[in-house]
Amino acid sequence: MTVDWPRNDYSRVPFSVYHDPELYTLEMERVFRGNCWSYLAFEAEVPNPGDFRTTWVGDTPVVVSRSDDGQLHAFVNRCSHRGAQIVREVSGHCKTDHVCIYHRWCYSKKGELIGVPFRRGLQGQGGMPADFDMQAHHPKALRLANYHGVLFGTFSDAAEPIETYLGEFGTGMIKRFMHKPIKILGYTRQLIEGNWKLYAENLRDTYHASLLHEFFVTYGVDRATQKGGVRMDERHRHNMNYAFSNSDTQSQAEQAYAGISGVELDRMRLSDQKILAYRPEFADGLNLATPTFFPNAIIIQINNSLSSRQIRPKGVNAHEIFQTLFGYEDDTEEMTRHRLISANLVGPAGLVSMEDGEAIEIVQKATRRETASHSLVEMGGLGPIQNLEHRVTETPIRGFWSYWSELMGMEPEGGIR
């Protein structure tokens, strides 16, 4: 199977990549079970022995669990018996072992099969064959890496060490967010009827932020006129859009957006400004930082709202965005409240995030019958994929595709990296 790339710099993306079920199946193998690391959860969600959190790698359900000796484990959340999901809660604490509800097979906190009801039958009748070997039927384990409290998993023995995978850019950004112990504030989930890669593109699309998101541009949270830009790792798989707060003026913005249909900077006024309040808290002075981690995650700061978002593919036509909101352990109660107010910007009904779901769904719908055609990804220029000190660009989208193609073995001839 190949992808017919019209150009070798990924500035044309064939619409078939969002709709082809065969390609989707290959992605689950070559991307999500290939040589890359997927974001799983935060260590702060499983602080004590017995704690667990369910998560996904591609469309494979996974449990992250802390065993009694304090070690962290990740294993496929599928019963070795007849395939039911073993753990069904989002997160929790397990006193003794994990029990599959269907026929009550038991699994240790390390993910080993340790109990089978009626294994020896009843009064000499039934039961499993005498040579049934429980050890041969543990759920598949993943390699797990804990990088400064962010947990990643991989099915591959050949995946590079996590530090190398994240690179200087990725490790630096994780250290930025995880510079002190975090506190989990809550979760949101959102089902979007669109291919998962449309979300991955959206996260790398600086261009749309101040055009689609009227709230951003009207209230100056994120505008193209702010100082900022895009950064990527060397292989262009992870990337970030960033901006400095208060680095533009109202008149600069008014000039820049004058004449753009549908964008009116003075259309709305907030009678309560609390939601816009921003308290500088990072040494780098950014009010917006959005490092993405190929293939499935972003850690995102919009003002003082902090969260991770995980992309969970649900078949070729849908994905779920699972968001984990966090603050810091040493936040005052008042600061936590402030973070939760800022969090009204994000999530399924968020004043900003809501529109991303809609944008993705209208792309999915409108391209369904146009699979021989392609999108245009030229904003910010053609040719080399590089870091930029401005925000009128979608170059990181081409970076995403270049690495995706490499993993899939579907690079165009002379494909740029």
> DSSP assignment of 42-92, as one string?
EGGGS-STTEEEEEEETTEEEEEEE-TTS-EEEEE-S-TTT---S--SSEE
Could you tell me the CA-to-CA distances from 251 to 266, 348, 392 in Å, in that order?
A: 12, 32, 18
Residue 152 has φ and ψ, to the nearest 5°, of -125, 150
Q: Footprint of ligand FES on residues 49-88 (CB under 6 A)?
A: 79, 81-82, 84
Binding mask 179-198 for ligand FES (x = CB under 6 A): --------------------
Nearer to ligand FES by Cβ, of 116 and 325: the residue is: 116
Which pair of structure tokens corresponds to residue 310? 């995980």
For ligand FES, the closer CB: 110 or 204: 110
CB 77 to ligand FES: min, Å: 11
236: alpha, beta or left? (left if phi > 0; alpha if psi -120 to 50): left
CB of 76 or CB of 224, closer to Fe ion: 224
**Binding residue for ligand FES (CB under 6 A) from 102, 118, 132, 282?**
102
Q: How far is the CB of 343 from ligand FES (least distance, A)?
A: 37
Which residues form the interface with Fe ion (CB under 5 A)? 356
The distance of closest approach from Cβ of residue 41 to Fe ion in the complex, given in angstroms and rounded to an integer, is: 23
CB of 78 to ligand FES, least distance (A): 9
Q: 197-233: string of b/e by CB count within 10 Å (b at 16+)?
A: bbbbbbbbbbbbbbebbbbbbbbbbbbbbbbbbbbbb
Residue 100 touches ligand FES, criterion: CB under 6 A: yes
Query: How far is residue 162's CA from residue 281's CA, in Å, rounded to a whole number?
Result: 27
Cβ 301 to Fe ion, closest distance in Å? 14
Does residue number 134 form part of the binding site for ligand FES (CB under 6 A)?
Answer: no
Q: What is the DSSP letter of 35?
A: S
Contacting range for ligand FES; rule: CB under 6 A; set: 42-50, 99-107, 172-180, 230-238: 99-107
Nearer to ligand FES, 101 or 376 (CB): 101
Q: Is the peptide bond before 313 cis (omega within 30 degrees of 0)?
A: no
How far apart (Å, rounded) are the C-alpha atoms in residues 189 and 219?
26
Work out what residue 356 binds among Fe ion, ligand FES, none; the CB cut-off runs from 5 to 8 Å by kind: Fe ion
Work out how close the CB of 103 gets to ligand FES at its nearest, in angstroms, rounded to a whole number. 3
Taking only Cα atoms into account, the Rg of the chain, rounded to an integer number of angstroms, comes to 23
Residue 278, token pair as written in the block = 């921003």
Q: Is 79 or 407 the residue whose CB approaches ligand FES more closely?
A: 79
Between 356 and 411, CB nearer to Fe ion: 356
- As a whole number of angstroms, the distance between CA 287 and CA 240 comes to 13
The footprint of ligand FES on this chain (CB under 6 A) covers a number of residues equal to 8
Q: How far is the CB of 107 from ligand FES (least distance, A)?
A: 9
d(CA 272, CA 413): 55
Smaller CB separation from ligand FES, 105 or 199 = 105
User: For binding to ligand FES (CB under 6 A), which residues are involved?
Assistant: 79, 81-82, 84, 100, 102-103, 105
